[in-house]
C-alpha cells in the first residue's frame, strides 16, 4: 500500500517552511484566489477543503463568491480583476457553474501564470510538449510523486490510463510518456476493457465509477493507481475494488489515503511556484 497521507505530511511540512521563508522575504504570503459561481454545495465544500489546505501550510486564501443569477460579463470582469491583481498568485475556478455561465470561456481567459490547477490550454500544451516550467494538474502530479517515492522505475513499463479527463487522464498519460512508459489511454468505449487493463504493468484508473475495476482485471504484481473518489452509503470508494486488488497487485494506492492527500500537497506547491515566478518575473516563456 502506497501511503499518500504519510508522504503528503512530509511534503507539506517542508512546504510550510518554504512558504514561511517566502513570506518573510517578500512580506506577503503566497495567495490563492478561489472563484465560485453559484450555490452548488459540492463546489462550496471543495472551496472549504481548499481553504483548510491553504491554512495548514501558510498560504493566504481569498474566496470570491458570485450568485446563481450572475451573468457572464460580471464573472469575466471578476476574473479579469484577479488576473491583474499582483497580490493574487494563483487562481482556481470551481465547478460546476450555473447553466448561463460558459466555463470554458473563463478557463481560456485565465492568466496561465496563475493557473495553479493546470487547466489553461497553454499549460496543457506545454505539458504535452514537455516544456517547463508549467503547472501540472495536482492530482496526476501527486500520483507521480508518490510512485517516485516508492522507487518505481517507469522506463519501459506498459502503462494503461483508464479515463481521459483534462485534469487526470490526459495529463497522467503525458507524465508517464515523459518517463518513457508505453502508454495506452482507455475509456468507456474501449473494446474489451478488462483485457486492456490486464496488459498493464502500471494501471491507473480515473473514470468516476466506484469499484469498476475488479481483481481479475489486474495483472499479477501490477502497480495500481486509483484516482477514484465516489461517496457511497458505505463511505468513500475508489474506482478499483480495493480488497480484490490488494490480493493481486504489487503496489496499490488506497482510497482514502492514497492520491487525495498528495493532490492537496501538490496544489500548495503549485501556489508557491506561482508566487516565486511572480516575485522574480521569471515565467520561463
Per-residue tens of pLDDT for the chain, all 285 residues: 999 999 999 999 999 999 999 999 999 999 999 999 999 999 999 999 999 999 999 999 999 999 999 999 999 999 999 999 999 999 999 999 999 999 999 999 999 999 999 999 999 999 999 997 689 999 999 999 999 999 999 999 999 999 999 999 999 999 999 999 999 999 999 999 999 999 999 999 999 999 999 999 999 999 999 999 999 998 999 999 999 999 999 999 999 999 999 999 999 999 999 999 999 987 765
C-alpha–C-alpha distance, residues 203 and 164, integer Å: 14
Residue 281 confidence (pLDDT): 85
Residues 6+ apart with CB under 8 A from 216: 194, 198, 244
Same topology between domain 24-112 and domain 138-259: yes
What's phi and psi for 136, nearest 5 deg? Answer: -95, 135
C-alpha–C-alpha distance, residues 108 and 89, integer Å: 17
Residues 6+ apart with CB under 8 A from 97: 37, 38, 75, 103, 106
pTM of the predicted model, to two decimals?
A: 0.95
Residue 284 confidence (pLDDT): 65
Cβ-count burial 36-47 (b if 16+ within 10 Å, e if not): bbbebeebeebb
Q: Domain 24-112 maps to which CATH number in 3.30.300.30, 3.30.460.80, 3.40.50.10540, 3.40.50.10860?
A: 3.40.50.10860
List the domain boundaries for the chain.
24-112, 138-259
C-alpha–C-alpha distance, residues 25 and 124, integer Å: 31
Tell me the CATH number for domain 138-259: 3.40.50.720
Amino acid at each position: 500500500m502506497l501511503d499518500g497521507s504519510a508522504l503528503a505530511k512530509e511534503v507539506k511540512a517542508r512546504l510550510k517552511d518554504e512558504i514561511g521563508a517566502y513570506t518573510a522575504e517578500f512580506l506577503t504570503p503566497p495567495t490563492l484566489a478561489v472563484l465560485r459561481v453559484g450555490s452548488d454545495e459540492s463546489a462550496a465544500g471543495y472551496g472549504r477543503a481548499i481553504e483548510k489546505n491553504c491554512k495548514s501550510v501558510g498560504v493566504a486564501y481569498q474566496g470570491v463568491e458570485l450568485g446563481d443569477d450572475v451573468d457572464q460579463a460580471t464573472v469575466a470582469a471578476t476574473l479579469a480583476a484577479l488576473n491583474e491583481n499582483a497580490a493574487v498568485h494563483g487562481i482556481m475556478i470551481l465547478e460546476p457553474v450555473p447553466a448561463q455561465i460558459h466555463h470554458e470561456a473563463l478557463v481560456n481567459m485565465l492568466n496561465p501564470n496563475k493557473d495553479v490547477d493546470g487547466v489553461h490550454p497553454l499549460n496543457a500544451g506545454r505539458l504535452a510538449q514537455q516544456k517547463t516550467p508549467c503547472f501540472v494538474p495536482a492530482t496526476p502530479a501527486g500520483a507521480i510523486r508518490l510512485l517516485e517515492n516508492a522507487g518505481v522505475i517507469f522506463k519501459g513499463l506498459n502503462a494503461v490510463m483508464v479515463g481521459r479527463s483534462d485534469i487526470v487522464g490526459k495529463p497522467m498519460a503525458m507524465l508517464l510518456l515523459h518517463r518513457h512508459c508505453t502508454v495506452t489511454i482507455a475509456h468507456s468505449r474501449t473494446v474489451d476493457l478488462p483485457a486492456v487493463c490486464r496488459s498493464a504493468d502500471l494501471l491507473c484508473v480515473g473514470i468516476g465509477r466506484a469499484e469498476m475495476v475488479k481483481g481479475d482485471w489486474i495483472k499479477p504484481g501490477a502497480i495500481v493507481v486509483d484516482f477514484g473518489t465516489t461517496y457511497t452509503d458505505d463511505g468513500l470508494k475508489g474506482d478499483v475494488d480495493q480488497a480484490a486488488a490488494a490480493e493481486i497487485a504489487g503496489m496499490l494506492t488506497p482510497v482514502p489515503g492514497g492520491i487525495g492527500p498528495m493532490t492537496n500537497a501538490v496544489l500548495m506547491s503549485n501556489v508557491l511556484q506561482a508566487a516565486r515566478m511572480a516575485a522574480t518575473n521569471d515565467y520561463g516563456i
